[in-house]
Every structure is written in structure tokens, then in C-alpha cells.
């Protein structure tokens, strides 16, 4: 597994570099071919390379991504290394170790019949080209297991907030700031009003959901072209995190209801909902199965947490597919120089994914306590252990793509 992880990490795969992503796809395809015994379907959509293995009618989707946030050349600053049981390198935690675990788990199954393995190349960008593919496969499956990195301490991600992204543009009128400022319509002044209005939307929406409150956050701002000109244009990016679809719809309504306060300016709103929430109900049944399975495998008790970041698990859950996320690497430091993976946990997590996959492939129902049969030495979920998992609300995870 370490050798496979090294191969993936040494092939850099910055999301915005399509050539780098294509090179990475070839390495991932070779690894999957060796372990799964089959070539993937290579799907290039708008220049982005995705890989799909299909074994009969889909019942279980194993989902991951091979792109990273690290520009090509980062390896020179943060080289691949393994020391004291910890692997380091760009993308090692988010989520190349998860891909290695995915392939080894799938390779251990007695039969892959009913399995779909999808590895996309643009998750870190919000999956703009792969989303329809993810949703179409998930809609036909009984379960989706997402090999994104775990939360703190190896916790699974049982709920995720939904994400909306907007850009609010103010169109004003330029004028000389010294000679005749009164002839202008100051887009920067209007933007100041709108930033305050946008920042208040989260409190207006609120939420009683256990997944947490709604946040509406102005982020990047820009205005003007020179120091002596009344700005004719200004803009602000807005990041939105919502606990449920009702909140996502309400935020969208309020964003579209914004009105200008400065005479002579016009507002333009771009964007909207990007990822639907991963509702706790979408993962509850699978999490119960995972808790019982982990206990039978001799693993430490599993925890489930709610996180603010998004993943492709939002899309599978939104497509109506029961989804369990955060089954990938145990470690930390995603998107940061300290990114790392605890090596000893890799085979442990692979065994868990293999057991969960076998359970569903052989007719197990997500959330049905008991009834799991032993498959090729992997114990199915034992009876009488429903409800032993611990679910808590946590902070947003740095390892999430969005």
C-alpha cells in the first residue's frame, strides 16, 4: 500500500492543470488495472480526466478524486517521505491515501459484481464537469462510500453542510474623483452597503437543524481602476454554508432580493447553490452498519461528525443514495504544509470499506440492524448492536474540498 501511495503522490495532479491531471489519471488507471483486473473507462470532459470502473449493474459506488490543490513543483518543497509511521507529501491525505485504500478494499472482495468505482479529476474545484456523472451513477446505487479523508481522530463524516457560491457585481458610473465626483455613481460605496446586507443574511435564515447554523460570508472584494476615479465597478464573492435545503433556498431568495441604495448603480448577481447538504438521514443507516462492522473487526469505536466542508458525497446524497463519507485516510493537515497520513491505519480502513461494500453487494440494507452474513471471512454487521455509534457536531474540516 505504501508503494502504491508513493506512486500516486509522486505524480502531481494540480486541479487547474489539465495535463497534470491527465498524467495522474494514467498512474491511477494503472494501479486500478493491477488491483481490479480491469481497465477503466477514461472520460475526458472539458479537458478534465475522470476514471470509471463498472462491474455489472451498479449497486455500490466507491467514490474518490485524484486531483489536489497543490501546484506542480510542490514536491520540491514538501517531498514524499515516510518516517515514524507517518507518510507525508502533497495530496497524501486529501486524498491519495484514500484511493489506495479504495483499490485494495475492492481487490479483496470475493466478487466485484455490482461495484462501480469512480475517480474524478476536478473535485477540488467543486466537480463542475464530474457532477452529472456522479449523480447519474449514485441514483442507481444502494450505497455510496466516499473515500475522502476522515475527520479528526478518524471520525466518519455523517453530515455535511450544503454550499452556495455567489458573486455580487455593482455597476456604477465613473467620474474624475477630484474634478466632478458628483457626476459618478460610486460602486465601491454601494458595495459597502451590500457587504453589510449580505453578512446579515445568515442571521435572518438561522436554523434549528442539528447540522448547525447558516453562514453567509463575504470573502474577496475588489473595486475601482485608479486612485483618482470614482469606481464604476465593484464586486464581492460570497461563501454560503447551509444545514438543509430549506436554508439553501431561503438564502438564494434573499440574495436575489438585494436592492441598490446608491442612485445610478445596478446590481448583478452570479452563481447560486453548488452542493446540496449531506443530510444526517442519508448516512444514518450506513453509519450504524459501519459501527457494528468496525466492532467485529476489532477497530476502535467509530465516531460520526458533522462538518462544514463539502465533497462529492453531497452530490451522491442529493441524488437520493445513502452515503457514508470520510472513510479514507486517518491523519491531518489537508491543504497545508503539514499534510500527513498515519500509515498503520491504511489497511485497517481498507478492511472496513471492504466489509461495508461486501455487505451491501450481498443484499444488506443500509440501516437494517442485524441480518449481515459473513462474506469471505469479512463479518457482516452482527445483530443487537444498533445505535452504538457516537455522533457529534464538529468544526469544518480543512481536508474538505470546498
Q: Which residues are catalytic?
A: 67, 123
CA distance linking residue 400 with residue 157, whole number of Å: 10
Helix axes 18-36, 2-10, angle to 10 degrees: 160
Beta bridge partners of 332: 340
Helix or strand holding residue 200 (H, E): none
Q: How far apart are CA 2 and CA 9, in angstroms?
A: 10
- Which of 336, 395, 383, 328 is closest to 62 using CA atoms? 328
Crossing angle, helix 18-36 and helix 97-107, to 10 degrees? Answer: 30
- CA atoms in the 13 A half-sphere facing the CB of 87: 27
Helix spans in 341-384 (H):
345-361
Strand pairing partners for 278?
A: 160
Amino acid at each position: 500500500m505504501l508503494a502504491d501511495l508513493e506512486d500516486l503522490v509522486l505524480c502531481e495532479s494540480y486541479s487547474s492543470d489539465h495535463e497534470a491531471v491527465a498524467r495522474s489519471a494514467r498512474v491511477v488507471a494503472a494501479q486500478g488495472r493491477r488491483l481490479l483486473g480491469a481497465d477503466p473507462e477514461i472520460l475526458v470532459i472539458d479537458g478534465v480526466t475522470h476514471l470509471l470502473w463498472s462491474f455489472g449493474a451498479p449497486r455500490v459506488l466507491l467514490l474518490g478524486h485524484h486531483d489536489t490543490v497543490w501546484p506542480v513543483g510542490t514536491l520540491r518543497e514538501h517531498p514524499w517521505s515516510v518516517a515514524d509511521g507517518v507518510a507525508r507529501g502533497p495530496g497524501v491525505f486529501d486524498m491519495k491515501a484514500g484511493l489506495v485504500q479504495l483499490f485494495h478494499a475492492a481487490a479483496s472482495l470475493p466478487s466485484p459484481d455490482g461495484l462501480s468505482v469512480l475517480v474524478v479529476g476536478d473535485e477540488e474545484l467543486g466537480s463542475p464537469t464530474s457532477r452529472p456523472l456522479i449523480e447519474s451513477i449514485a441514483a442507481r446505487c444502494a450505497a455510496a462510500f466516499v473515500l475522502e479523508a476522515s475527520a479528526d481522530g478518524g471520525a466518519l463524516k455523517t453530515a455535511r453542510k450544503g454550499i452556495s457560491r455567489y458573486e455580487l457585481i455593482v455597476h456604477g458610473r465613473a467620474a474624475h474623483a477630484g474634478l466632478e465626483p458628483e457626476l459618478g455613481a460610486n460602486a465601491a460605496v454601494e458595495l459597502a452597503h451590500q457587504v453589510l446586507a449580505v453578512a446579515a443574511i445568515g442571521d435572518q435564515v438561522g436554523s434549528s437543524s442539528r447540522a448547525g447554523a447558516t453562514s453567509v460570508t463575504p470573502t474577496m472584494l475588489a473595486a475601482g481602476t485608479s486612485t483618482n476615479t470614482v469606481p464604476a465597478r465593484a464586486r464581492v464573492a460570497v461563501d454560503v454554508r447551509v444545514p438543509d435545503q430549506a436554508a439553501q433556498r431561503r438564502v438564494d431568495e434573499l440574495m436575489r432580493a438585494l436592492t441598490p441604495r446608491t442612485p445610478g448603480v445596478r446590481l448583478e448577481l452570479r452563481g447560486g447553490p453548488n452542493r446540496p447538504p449531506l443530510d444526517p438521514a442519508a448516512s444514518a443507516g450506513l453509519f450504524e452498519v459501519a459501527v457494528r462492522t468496525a466492532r467485529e473487526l476489532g477497530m476502535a469505536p467509530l465516531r460520526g461528525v458533522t462538518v462544514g466542508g463539502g465533497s462529492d458525497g453531497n452530490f451522491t446524497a442529493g441524488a437520493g443514495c445513502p452515503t457514508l463519507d470520510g472513510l479514507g485516510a486517518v491523519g491531518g493537515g489537508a491543504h497545508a504544509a503539514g499534510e500527513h497520513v498515519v500509515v498503520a491505519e491504511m489497511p485497517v480502513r481498507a478492511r472496513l470499506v471492504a466489509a461495508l461494500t461486501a455487505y451491501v453487494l450481498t443484499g444488506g440494507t443500509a440501516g437494517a440492524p442485524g441480518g449481515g452474513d459473513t462474506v469471505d471471512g469479512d463479518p457482516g454487521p452482527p445483530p443487537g448492536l444498533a445505535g452504538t455509534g457516537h455522533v457529534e457536531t464538529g468544526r469544518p474540516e480543512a481536508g474538505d474540498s470546498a
